[in-house]
């Protein structure tokens, strides 16, 4: 059993720290810029110290192969974090669909967590998804995912590149992402489509009525009513989305590990 001050395991500690810091820099919740950088570095350092004394860490020499392993660890951490981030941005895609129908597409807001422009309803959905993620201890499951990645991809093991498996996994991930986004948006978009049909009928039967003046506040009101009615439906979809995130992370780890 190695001790914390055994310098022979310093190379293994640096490899673990490289994967953890790359993961924390990209994964949702931990990567946001309103979280201080010293906290992110300290969290990665603390978890790495725990892992280096619990894992069966091999003894490594500082040579050219070690530099390649450092890049490999950073790449693995980035892939795991970016996969989780991409899947959770599905709620912003769904919000973009809804904003386009509501007329909010030109009124984007600044996301304080990432600094990027995002749709209003998409930002609402994303905040709701993050709150649900924290409520069910999803951030602990994300950390558990990167910790279990050392079982699939060892410190002294290179990642395996299989183009067919990667393409299949990426295509399946994006198709499922847009399917869930469509399911989240279809109740609101469907309701607004019925409102457009009703306004079209009114415009033909009552030409004196200016449907452009009436239509915008009517569509906004119907959208908020539909959001309040289908909020339970969104909870189930966010739960499914988070479960799919864990599944995809596990699948990518198996592909990288050659399993």
Which residue in 89, 101, 61 sits closest to 195, CA to CA? 101
Separation of alpha carbons 125 and 195, rounded Å = 23
Tokens of 249: 């992370």
**pLDDT, tens digit, for every residue of 227-254?**
888 877 887 888 888 878 788 877 777 7
Tokens of 245: 């995130």
Which residue in 44, 256, 243 sits closest to 149, CA to CA? 256
Q: What is the pLDDT of residue 2?
A: 47
Cβ proximity of 223 and 102 under 8 Å: yes
SS3 117: strand
**pLDDT, tens digit, for every residue of 22-57?**
988 888 888 877 788 888 889 888 888 888 888 777
Angle separating helix axes 211-229 and 163-205, nearest 10 degrees: 130
Separation of alpha carbons 129 and 133, rounded Å = 6
Mean pLDDT confidence for 183-204? 83
pLDDT for 78 beyond 50: yes
Cβ proximity of 74 and 23 under 8 Å: no
Mean pLDDT confidence for 64-82? 86
pLDDT for 201 beyond 70: yes
Contacts of 45 (CB under 8 A, 6+ apart): 17
Name the pTM for this structure. Answer: 0.79
pLDDT for 257 beyond 50: yes
Mean pLDDT of the residues in the chain: 79
φ, ψ of residue 110 to 5 degrees: the values are -85, 125
Task: List, as own/partner pairs, every contact residues 245-251 make where C-beta atoms lie below 8 angstroms and the sequence separation is at least 24, other chains included.
Answer: 245/83, 245/84, 245/87, 245/88, 246/141, 246/145, 248/83, 248/87, 248/169, 248/173, 249/80, 249/83, 249/84, 249/145, 250/145, 251/169
pLDDT for 3 beyond 60: no
């Amino acid at each position: 059993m190695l001790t914390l001050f055994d310098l022979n395991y310093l190379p293994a500690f640096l490899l673990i720290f490289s994967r953890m810091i790359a993961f924390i820099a990209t994964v949702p919740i931990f990567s946001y810029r309103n979280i201080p950088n010293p906290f992110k570095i300290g969290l990665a350092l603390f978890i790495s110290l725990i892992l280096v004394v619990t894992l069966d860490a091999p003894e490594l020499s500082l040579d050219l192969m070690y530099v390649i392993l450092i890049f490999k660890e950073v790449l693995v951490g980035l892939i795991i974090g970016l996969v989780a981030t991409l899947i959770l941005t599905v709620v912003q895609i769904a919000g973009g669909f809804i904003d386009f129908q509501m007329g909010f597409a030109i009124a984007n807001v600044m996301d304080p967590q990432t600094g990027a422009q995002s749709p209003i309803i998409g930002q609402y959905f994303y905040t709701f998804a993050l709150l649900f993620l924290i409520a069910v201890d999803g951030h602990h499951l994300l950390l558990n995912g990167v910790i279990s990645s050392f079982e699939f991809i060892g410190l002294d093991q290179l990642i395996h590149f299989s183009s067919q498996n990667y393409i299949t996994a990426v295509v399946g991930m994006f198709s499922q992402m847009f399917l869930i986004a469509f399911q989240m948006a279809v109740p609101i978009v469907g309701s607004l489509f019925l409102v457009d049909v009703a306004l079209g009928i009114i415009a033909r039967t009552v030409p004196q009525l200016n449907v452009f003046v009436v239509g915008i506040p009517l569509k906004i009101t119907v959208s908020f009513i539909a959001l309040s009615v289908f909020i339970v439906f969104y909870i189930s979809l966010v739960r499914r989305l988070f479960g799919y995130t864990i599944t995809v992370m596990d699948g990518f780890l198996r592909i990288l590990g050659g399993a």
